[in-house]
Structure 1
């Protein structure tokens, strides 16, 4: 029992200090990402429903793809400050792509907004940043093995093969609406 608790605490600490979008995969690590092409209807919006753990890629009002997602390790409520383990809520935009992410591939969300920054600074804290839609990578595989669904530091996680689809389908500037 004590070993299990220690292992879960160690996992939590490891996941807490690991940034969502960062770094190169280490040699001998997970399979390198496939770079897919996409020639279907354009993705015009992404909607994340945190309570349902679902993400939808839409073209107009048509749902193109639906994904089951993992969230920050403290999934209830909006992100307030750096290190709170929450996934933001609100309207943001896709602003970057990281093909060398430690989480297979990652698609950047332009959190924090001006309002997010002001809210955090008003209580003397930093808002955080580096919010991404990303794959599992090694940390996500470890979380899955321990049956932990919400394991990121605030990012939105999907399976590695799913982030390959998202990476191909989504373009910079696409709005992402993250609902409670």
Structure 2
């Protein structure tokens, strides 16, 4: 399964506004579609900024006559469709934003990724994470005997113990486990069973 991409989690968007869209129209769209922000696009469909609820609540001398261009936070911090979810989360954190417009290869808005979309990923139940590691990672991908490795998962924290047949597998197992949805961190206590080499 590997790392989820932004495309898997984002909400595909049909809702964007232009620079000239009025304050009232932006407010109406947010309420009607039950969203907290909307990307502002130029004539070519490229994002130039984002208007959020917080932007609407900020006091402005122009009041209700303001346009999206005056209201928006700009430039738009964006994510790309092919990015991993982890990369998008880091960009959100670095820029202090709660959502990212997602752009396609032409730079046009394809969707929106919100912080709540990311949180869903980490709320995956522990038993489902454990099952995927045992079945997909260890048995199917690495063809290891699941009986040789113990997998414990608690609140997304994975602890691996047991043995692998070759030392070069140690970093591989850890890396593949990190790629499973919902995994927060991996504590690998695996050792190499080199008894068959001597």
**Looking at CA atoms only, which structure, 1 or 2, has the larger radius of gyration?**
2
TM-score (norm 2): 0.22
Tell me the TM-score normalized by structure 1: 0.23
Higher percent of residues as helix:
2
